[in-house]
Amino acid sequence: MNNSIEIKGLNKFYGKKQALFDVNLSIQQGMFGLLGRNGAGKTTLMKTLATLLQKKNGVITVCGVPIENAKEIRRIIGYLPQEFSMYPSMKVGEAMKYLAILSGLSGSQRKERIDALLKKVNLTEHRDKKVKALSGGMKRRLGIAQALLNNPKVLIVDEPTAGLDPEERVRFRNLLSEIAEDKIVILSTHIVGDIEATCEDIAIINEGRVIYNGTVDALLQEAEGRVFTMTASKRELPELKRQLSITSMHTQGNKVHIRFIADNLMQGAKTCEPNIEDAYMLYLHTSGVREILGEIGGEW
Amino acid sequence: MLLLQEIKKIVKSIPYMIFVAAVVIGLFSQGVFRFQDDLLEEPQPGGSYGYKHEEIAEQIMPAALRDLLTEFSNNNYTTYPIGFIKHVKLSESKQEKMAEILSGITGNDKDRILQEAAGITPGASGNYTFQIGGDGMQQDGNGGFTIGSDEKQQNSPEKMAFAVRDDMDYARFKELMGQADDLLGGGSNYAVDSLIGYGTVPLTYEEAKERYDLAISSDKVTGGYARLFSDYAGVMVLSILPVFLAVILGMKDRRVKMEALIYTKKISAAKLTFIRYLALVIAAMLPVILISYISNMMVWSSYPGIQLDYLAPLKYDFGWLLPSVMISTAIGMFLTELTGTPIAVAVQGLWWMFDVNLGIKSVSSGYALLRLAPRHNAGADSLFRTQDYLDHFGDLVQNRLLMAGIALALILLTILIYESKRKGKFGGNAIFKKAVSSIRDRKNKSQA
């Protein structure tokens, strides 16, 4: 059994609406980031990998197991959906025990595994707390713990940090990185910072299409020389916004410092070191251009 | 282990506590804790022992005719066409047909019967009876009195004192009564198989003693009380309340957003669904078993020296009541899984209402194949009506097996739906919501 996820020619429809277009990905052990806007198709892809949705066509194998073998896939994956909760009146320990039984763990395995996982996600002392009394961050950590009950080879985590405060977000990212040491962890997010902090390999998905698949370094390299900064007066800002793809800006008195992406250096601007956010924006921006050029037969 | 967890999950929930309270209140209101007020007594020579129905033409014909004349004169007939009580008012032409039937039974002219029904005695114009005083007489402004006739009095059955013709043959009488029943749309007391209700004869000591001995030997007393308990518990409680539990708990995973967590776990849909079903059935049966014993134990001390069957409540709980719980729970689980809505409550509620009303005419006993809750209530002829029960035991077994079978079939379908939803193959809830919103849109458009 190999340790990779192979996706070839995947298409997914909701009725007549196509949600995924010819997706091809090869995901190896470690953290894999799936980046994209809300509604880009990330959750559809995650759910398909978690056997919760049926694909229209294409081939998916998870650690060598065809996705059609849902029973076996469920045995080797852990899944944390974007929105989830647990029976609110159950205590943390009880909820874990219930889900461990559903995961098919024996009595001794259950005890050992639940203790270890609660310790790992730092919830041991909250074991007797009711689920409804947990904070958002604690609930997410409990979510990760339940997804790891069956010691899966693959952990699929959909938008896990949305709504968390910065401290919890950092803690969560670190936890995922730890878990990824011996597993495939697929992290789907629209928050670039999550990817930046945890992933080496990523894919960018936009409107159901994979528009980038590679390493973070390669993505940054592609943005090299196309990210600039400049300082302008506030009066000029509306016109600059219209002309440029601005990725960030800071106002200082009457002046505004902007960071933007462009093909060429413009007067008054300086080239700067791109970050993932810049590269991501560049890709979203240029993928639109690519599509338009593709349609009219031009070159990019 | 999972079964225990599921039972724990149910019994610790607020809906279950409400369920238990409803079961206790429902059964208390039916008097299951007062069985000691109705004790089985050994008949003594020289007493009165109740009555029984028998097809005695001499009794049935005048009694049935009397009732039919009363209803005819008021043009207000009571029927139970599909179990529900229905008051029938016939059209003029149908009243004429009814008069023809009455003419056939009494030998009197049809027109005379119609006139008498209208309060007109042929050949005796103005032969009314007036009530002087009371509500019928009122003083007018000139100091005189206005006397009004009492319409009810004019149409009172006593006015239509027709008798069955002397040469009436009982077979012909039944035939004519059958025609009357057809005219009323069926379900009346004049239906051929209902006429026996007009024939009652007192029980003899020997018959009463025989019934008593049968209750002692066959029911061992406690069996009779367990049967009465099952009658009340089946119809008032267990044919409807378990559906609420099944629906509320069936929707819980979705409501608390736990569905995806459970869907991706290793457990099979068959195991999870069946264990959840079993847990719901066990949880629903627990208070019933307990109350059935409390109810039964209250009479044990009233029968010293008689060999009682201490397992009788348990036998009836499982044989009689369990299938009701099974079908009610299965309908709840199936429709909730199929639609993602609480529609099962409405479906089961309708069936239950229909079944209860079906029982209006057959409270004493009802074992039809599709009855949700079989009936076997106490009777005036004997407390337990043991012989009647034994006569219908085969029907009861068929009914209970059918209900249990349908319940298991529904659970099999629930398993298939669960697995399909789990794989994203079937979006029952989405389909249902789409259908509801399309109906709503159409309604809004038509209102606009």
Q: For residue A65, what pLDDT is reported?
A: 95
DSSP string, A160-180: TTTT--HHHHHHHHHHHHHHT
CB A28 within 8 A of CB A4: yes
Q: Is the pLDDT of residue B329 over 90?
A: yes
Q: Where are the alpha helices (DSSP H) in B75-120?
A: 92-106, 110-117
| Pairwise CB contact (< 8 Å): B264 & A79 | yes
Ranges of each domain in chain B = 2-44+208-443, 53-124+143-202
Q: Report the CATH number of the A4-215 domain.
A: 3.40.50.300
- Quickly count helices (H) and strands (E) in chain B: 19, 8
Choose the closest CB to B256 out of A53, A87, A143. A87
Alpha-carbon gap: A235 to the closest alpha carbon of chain B (Å): 49
Under-50 pLDDT residues of chain A:
289-290, 292-300
Element (H, E) at A14: strand A4-14
| Residues whose CB falls within 8 Å of the CB of residue A227, separated by 6 or more in sequence, listed in order | A247, A259, A260, A261, A271, A272, A273, A274, A278, A282
Alpha-carbon gap: B265 to the closest alpha carbon of chain A (Å): 5
Q: Name beta bridge partners: A154.
A: A77, A184
A chain contacts of residue B425, beta-carbon cutoff 8 Å:
54
Q: Name beta bridge partners: A35.
A: A189, A204
| Pairwise CB contact (< 8 Å): A50 & B264 | yes
For the full predicted model, state whether its pTM sits above 0.90. Answer: no
Report which of B346, B308, B252, B236 is spatially closest to residue B40, judged by C-alpha positions.
Answer: B308
How confident is residue B445, by pLDDT bands cut at 50, 70 and 90? low
Q: For residue A296, what pLDDT is reported?
A: 37
Alpha-carbon gap: A76 to the closest alpha carbon of chain B (Å): 9
Helix axes B428-447, B322-339, angle to 10 degrees: 70
Report which of A218, A227, A258 is spatially closest to residue A242, judged by C-alpha positions.
Answer: A258
Best probe of the A interface among B263, B265, B267, by most A CBs < 10 A, is B265
| Pairwise CB contact (< 8 Å): A88 & B257 | no
A chain contacts of residue B264, beta-carbon cutoff 8 Å:
50-52, 74, 77-79
Backbone CA torsion sign across B194, B196, B199, B205: negative
Q: Name beta bridge partners: A18.
A: A13
Q: For residue B153, what pLDDT is reported?
A: 43
| Pairwise CB contact (< 8 Å): B425 & A54 | yes
DSSP string, A52-118: SS--SEEEEEETTEETT-HHHHHHHEEEE-SS----TTSBHHHHHHHHHHHTT--HHHHHHHHHHHH
Q: For residue B284, what pLDDT is reported?
A: 96
Q: pLDDT tens digits for B187-219?
A: 899 998 889 889 988 888 898 899 899 999 999
Q: Is the pLDDT of residue B130 over 90?
A: no
CB B169 within 8 A of CB B175: no
Given CB atoms, is B5 within the 8 Å cutoff of chain A? yes
Q: For residue B446, what pLDDT is reported?
A: 65
Q: How many CB atoms lie within 10 A of CB B378?
A: 17
Instruction: List the strands of the sheet with A227-233, edge to edge.
Output: A245-252, A255-261, A227-233, A270-271
* Strand intervals (E) in A262-300: 270-271
Q: For residue A293, what pLDDT is reported?
A: 39
In terms of Cβ atoms closer than 10 Å to its own Cβ (0-12, 13-18, 19+), residue A217 is exposed
Q: Is the pLDDT of residue B346 over 90?
A: yes
Choose the closest CB to A88 out of B256, B263, B422. B256
Measured distance CA(B247)–CA(B384) in Å, rounded: 36
Ranges of each domain in chain A = 4-215, 221-296
In terms of Cβ atoms closer than 10 Å to its own Cβ (0-12, 13-18, 19+), residue A263 is exposed
CB B367 within 8 A of CB B374: yes
